[in-house]
Every structure is written in C-alpha cells, then in structure tokens.
Amino acid sequence: MANPPFKMEGLDHVVIRCVDLDAMRHFYCDVLGCTVDRHNKEFDLLQLRAGRQLIDLVTVDGVLGRKGGAAPGPEGRNLDHFAIRIDRFDDAALHAYIDAHDIEIVEEGPRYGADGTGPSVYLRDPEGNIVELKGPPDTA
Amino acid sequence: MTTKAPFAMKGLDHVVVRCTDLATMKHFYCDVLGGTMQEEDTEIGLYQVRIGDHIVDLMPIDEPSGRKGGPAPGGDGYNMDHFAIQVEPYDDDAIRAYLSGHGVDLGATIIRGGAEGEGPGIHIKDPEGNTVELKGPPDPAYN
C-alpha cells in the first residue's frame, strides 16, 4: 500500500457545536483561560486559542452549525471528550479554583496522554462536553 | 470572579472519538492517514492512535468506556462538528488522488484560519461520518 503523501504533525483544532455561545465563551475564556483568536461572523465561528491549538465554537443555529442538524443531546455524541494539556498541576489550587467556579469534576486521577502518564481532572462544560485538563507527565 | 487560573494551557492533547466498527476506524486512521496504534487498552476499551504530537483515541461504544455514552452517534446532533489534523506537506492534488484511491469521501478544499494561520485544508469523512480536516501549513499568500 502506498504511503500517504503527507505526515500528520498533530491536532490543529477541535470544533464544538453549542447552543449558548455566551455561556460557553465564559467557561472556555474566563474560567479556563482561552483568548479569542478571531470571530468569523461569516460562518458564525468563534475561534479560541488554547495554547498552540484552537478550540472553535459553532452555534447550532449558525451558518456552519446548522449543517450538523439538531443540538447535541446527552447521548449519541461523536466526541467522548477532549483533553487540554496544562503547564502545571497543583491539585489543591486546581480544586479550589474549580470549586470557586462551581464546576463539576466528573472524574480525576492519573491518565495516559500524548506525552506520558500524568494527573488529570475531567470537567463538564456548560453544555455537557467533557474536558480533560491534563498535567505534565509524572517524572516518578 | 476574576481569580486567575492556577495553570496555563499549552495546547490540545487528545480527542476521543466514539465509534461502532473499531477495525474499520483503525484501518482509516492508521493505514490510510498514517497514524500509529500506540496502545490498545481492551480492559476499558480505548485505542490510542498517535498522530504526530498528539493522539486520536478510538472508543468503541460496545466496550466499557464507550457504553457510558449511550447509543452510537447518529449523524445528527453531534457535539463535535469536526477536528483538524496538521499535515505536511500539503499537496492538494496528491492528497485527493491518494484518498480517492482509498475510497475516502472528500469534501471541499477551503482556506480558513487554523492554529498557525490561514492555509488550505481539505474536509474528509472518516468511515463513521466524522468530519476530519487535513490542514496544511499556513500559506503566506493569505497571512
């Protein structure tokens, strides 16, 4: 079989379909610390910078979002979760911060990620998507 | 509330795609796109495909982890519109010829902003209908 005429370098962006853009923007920007990279109004696409990659939000009633049909329900989703690599994992500070924002921790513990096994917390965004915050790999 | 987050984001780490037919999905992400099966955790039902710096995880809906998310994705009401993978080099004709040869459903080539700037990308469908964008490097003509 011929090899592909390209090599995959990594993820570039993930695009989440949502209903309430303000609530989602608050979660990803004000709580997690994303910044608005650009707001493409032609496509109703809000591109948020998450370190070296992007998390894009499209509203289900927008130009791009409408093509995907109904709003996501609690089941039958195509994305189980996605993970964001964070630079440091201070368990106590992280819990205090998450609690202060009244955000549910779905699960936590050491998990395998792209650069090894390290601590993770799994949060639910305002529309039920699971976002894993993944710390640096354990050196132990 | 303006307390600063006790961390900074470095970037994405992985995306976990729920699937029905693991063998077909493995074939697509590994044999066609060139990913490497890094670890198969049959106990929890998670199959980790390395794509450069990051990972695409396949999670069959009839294995322990996948069952928690209920029925199979149905093409409507997805929570993820698509995800994008950076590829290099980006030769649109060669990519189209190669993927067509594998029977992959090809969409339009579009110029849109990615994490590193405006550049070409092609939208394709994986075997279960998820849209995957193969995104080329930023093109100086658009930046």
Q: Which of B68, B10, B69 is nearest to A76 (CA)?
A: B69
Specify whether the CB–CB gap between B95 and B134 falls below 8 A. yes
Query: Are A13 and B83 an interchain contact pair (Cβ–Cβ within 8 Å)?
Result: yes
* CB spacing of A51 vs B11 below 8 angstroms: yes
Q: What length is written for chain B?
A: 143
Nearest CA in chain B to A72: B77
User: What ipTM does the predicted assembly reach?
Assistant: 0.95
Q: What is the mean pLDDT of residues A32-52?
A: 94
Q: What is the pLDDT of residue B77?
A: 83
Average pLDDT over residues A54-82: 92
- Give the C-alpha distances (Å, rounded to integers) separating B95 from A7, A15, B103: 11, 23, 12
Instruction: Name the strands in the sheet holding A53-59, side by side, starting at the edge strand that comes first in the sequence.
Output: A35-40, A45-50, A53-59, A7-18, B80-88, B131-135, B117-125, B106-114
Average pLDDT over residues B14-34: 98
In this prediction, residue B92 carries a pLDDT of: 96
Query: How far is the alpha carbon of A77 from chain B, nearest alpha carbon, in Å?
Result: 5
What is d(CA B115, CA B119) in angstroms, rounded to the nearest whole number?
10
Confirm if B83 and A13 have CB atoms less than 8 A apart: yes
Q: What is the pLDDT of residues B61-118, one digit of tens each?
A: 999 999 999 888 877 789 999 999 999 999 999 999 999 999 999 999 999 889 999 9
Token pair 């205090």: residue: A96
B90 — contact with chain A (CB < 8 Å)?
A: yes
| pTM across the whole model | 0.95
